[in-house]
């Protein structure tokens, strides 16, 4: 009797799991969103991994400007409809406030990840965003220019020697060292000289950190969802078996941040800005719509350490803790390192393959040098053609393939469809940047399209840096 009862329970459980799986893999279709038929076990993972952009293009032709697919049981909705893109990224941003977190906090090897602006949301995100936005103000960036100049001069020296010796130049690798040296200086105040001494401990640890995602844990999530106990046990097993090893990057960053705080030294870098800056708590309220006020970053809304601390009630301001500083400084270094080295490589490719454009850029810089005698923060902003070349390069070759992702926090109705709560909404950067209904000759390199005053470019037409309140926080430093 007990055996029959046990077998019945097992059978019921199997039937329930099968029903639940089938139900999960039909949620988009039930809400009017068409897309390719998912595999019962892995959804559309195989096609997605084979060619993300290629399959998006194919699926769009088949299913229209809004279509869905599954990674395991996770529903994803790809948006090419411009009205819906504007609604998600700008108008109804508060309903899509968070980025997708593939592995739940507490189940990665990075103890600081939960403090990251990248994956945070709500009022905490707004506070951190406000502080970091102030850290990228014009005055702050201007103070960082000498740090950047030193590394660029070294870069020119290194390239010059290779040219004299008639050596081949690996552009991607060369820009990797330049980028990392600049970001390490502007984020942590580190002078690494990794362009000349290419074997650098911090660079190696940063690369490990960037590659330290746990694919096995992500696969568990795809198959069975976020079951905390399985994540925890699998993480512990992989860690103790030595299959995965944590990077020393976070520990190194922790030492740097705590030494700076304890020493009281002042530097012109991002770390110093994050240590010193406070935001008045009264700029947030219970009806907060999570939009960062453009005025918050001005001097009257930001209190910096060493200026008004003695007269400022500590309970009336928000200041980042050491853990939050470590997380977000590391975030900037990691994100900027990956994106900037790729962007510089693509821009170089565009200049090399378009010699007429290269000559125009050179002439514009020469004229500015003759006029001002130097290239500084104020002068480089007067290079409109170079700015257009950079924007056009990043339009054609955005550094991140699928960067703009948001999680839908409600069942969101749009026309005759509903985006289910918990779905990941994707705005495919390369497809939007090359959309034929927006850009004339979208696959042709034409910097002039950004110089025509009659060419009004909407924020959601050019999404290399995202759009709306959650666009790339480091965009000003990058450009």
The token pair at 403 is: 């960067």
Q: Comparing 281 with 93, which gets the higher pLDDT? A: 93
- Tokens in use for 196? 């000349």
Q: Residue 214, SS3? A: coil
| High-pLDDT (> 90) share of the chain, % | 26
CB 437 within 8 A of CB 460: no
Sequence-distant (≥ 6) Cβ neighbours of residue 326 within 8 angstroms: 112, 115, 250, 253, 254, 257
Whole-model pTM: value is 0.82
49-63, 224-238, 328-342: the lowest-pLDDT one: 224-238
| 77 bridge partner residues | 68, 425
Handedness of CA 364, 365, 371, 376 (dihedral sign): positive
Least confident of 90-99, 126-135, 339-348: 126-135
Cβ contacts of 167 within 8 Å, gap of 6 or more = none
Average pLDDT of span 430-455: 91
- Please tell me the predicted confidence (pLDDT) of residue 315: 57
Backbone angles phi, psi at 45, to 5 degrees: -60, -45
Residue that wins the pLDDT comparison between 123 and 88: 88
pLDDT at 270 over 80: yes
Most confident region among 31-40, 103-112, 262-271, 459-468 by mean pLDDT: 31-40
Mean pLDDT score, 463-474: 82
What's the whole-number mean pLDDT along residues 25-34? 94
Q: Classify 132 as helix, strand or coil.
A: helix
Model confidence at 63: pLDDT above 50 = yes
In this prediction, residue 364 carries a pLDDT of 93
What string of DSSP letters covers 450-474?
GT-TT----TTT--BTB-GGGS-TT
Is the pLDDT assigned to residue 306 strictly greater than 50? Answer: no
**What pLDDT does 297 receive?**
40
pLDDT of residue 141: 79
Q: What is the mean pLDDT of residues 360-367?
A: 93
N-terminal to C-terminal alpha carbon distance within the chain: 73
Q: How far apart are CA 309 and CA 51, in angstroms?
A: 53
Confidence at 271, pLDDT banded by 50, 70, 90: confident
What pLDDT is stored for residue 232 in this prediction? 55
User: Could you identify the residue written with the tokens 């002068």?
Assistant: 379
Question: How far is 402 from 464, CA to CA, in rounded Å?
Answer: 10
Per-residue confidence (pLDDT) for residue 107, from 0 to 100: 45
Q: Is residue 251 pLDDT above 70, yes or no?
A: yes
Residue whose token pair is 């060292």 = 177
State the pLDDT at residue 189: 83
| 272: pLDDT strictly greater than 90 | no
Section 2-8 average pLDDT: 81
Q: pLDDT tens across 408-420, in order? A: 999 999 999 999 9
In this structure, the number of other CB atoms found within 10 A of the CB of residue 51 comes to 11
Any idea how long the chain is? 479
Residue 268, pLDDT score: 83
Lowest mean pLDDT among 23-27, 285-289, 375-379: 285-289
Q: What is the average pLDDT value for the chain, to the nearest integer?
A: 80
Q: Does residue 402 or residue 453 have the better pLDDT?
A: 453
414 sits in which H/E element: strand 412-414
Radius of gyration over alpha carbons of the chain, in Å? 25
pLDDT for 28: 95
Q: What is the predicted pLDDT for the residue at 42?
A: 84
The tens digit of pLDDT for each residue in 380-399 reads 778 899 999 999 999 999 88
Q: Is the dihedral of CA 320, 325, 327, 332 positive or negative?
A: positive
């Amino acid at each position: 009797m007990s055996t029959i009862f046990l077998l019945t329970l097992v059978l019921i459980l199997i039937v329930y799991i099968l029903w639940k799986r089938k139900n999960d893999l039909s949620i988009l279709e039930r809400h009017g969103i068409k897309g390719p038929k998912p595999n019962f076990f892995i959804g559309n993972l195989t096609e997605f991994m084979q060619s993300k952009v290629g399959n998006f293009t194919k699926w769009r032709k088949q299913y229209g400007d809004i279509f869905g697919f599954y990674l395991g049981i996770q529903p994803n909705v790809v948006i090419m409809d411009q009205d819906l893109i504007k609604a998600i990224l700008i108008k109804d941003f508060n309903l899509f406030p968070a980025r997708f977190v593939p592995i739940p906090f507490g189940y990665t090897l990075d103890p600081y990840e939960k403090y990251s602006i990248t994956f945070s949301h709500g009022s905490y995100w707004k506070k951190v965003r406000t502080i970091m936005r102030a850290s990228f103000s014009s005055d702050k960036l201007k103070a960082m220019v000498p740090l950047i100049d030193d590394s660029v001069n070294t870069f020119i020296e290194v390239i010059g020697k290779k040219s004299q010796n008639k050596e081949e130049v690996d552009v991607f690798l060369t820009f990797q060292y330049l980028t990392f040296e600049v970001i390490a200086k502007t984020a942590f105040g580190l002078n690494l000289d990794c362009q000349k001494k290419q074997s650098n401990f911090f660079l190696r640890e940063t690369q490990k950190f960037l590659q330290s995602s746990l694919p096995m844990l992500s696969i568990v999530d795809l198959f069975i969802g976020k079951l905390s106990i399985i994540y925890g046990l699998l993480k512990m097993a992989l860690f103790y078996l030595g299959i995965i090893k944590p990077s020393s990057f976070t520990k190194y960053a922790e030492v740097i941040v705590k030494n700076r705080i304890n020493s009281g030294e002042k530097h012109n870098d991002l770390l110093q800005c994050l240590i010193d800056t406070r935001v008045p708590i009264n700029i947030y309220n219970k009806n907060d719509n999570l939009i960062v006020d453009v005025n918050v970053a001005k001097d009257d809304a930001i209190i910096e350490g060493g200026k008004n601390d003695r007269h400022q009630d500590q309970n009336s301001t928000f200041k980042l803790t050491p853990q939050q500083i470590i997380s977000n400084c590391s975030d900037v270094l990691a994100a900027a390192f990956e994106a900037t080295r790729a962007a510089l490589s693509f821009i170089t490719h565009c200049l090399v393959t378009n010699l007429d454009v290269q000559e125009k850029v050179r002439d514009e810089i020469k004229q500015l040098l003759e006029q001002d005698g130097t290239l500084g923060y104020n002068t480089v902003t007067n290079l409109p053609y170079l700015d257009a070349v950079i924007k056009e390069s990043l339009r054609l070759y955005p550094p991140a393939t699928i960067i703009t992702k948001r999680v839908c926090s409600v069942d969101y109705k749009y026309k005759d469809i509903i985006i289910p709560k918990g779905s990941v909404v994707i705005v495919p950067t390369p497809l939007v940047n090359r959309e034929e209904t927006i850009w004339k000759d979208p696959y042709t390199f034409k910097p002039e399209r950004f110089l025509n005053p009659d060419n009004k470019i909407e924020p959601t037409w050019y999404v290399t840096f995202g759009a709306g309140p959650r666009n790339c926080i480091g965009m000003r430093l990058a450009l």
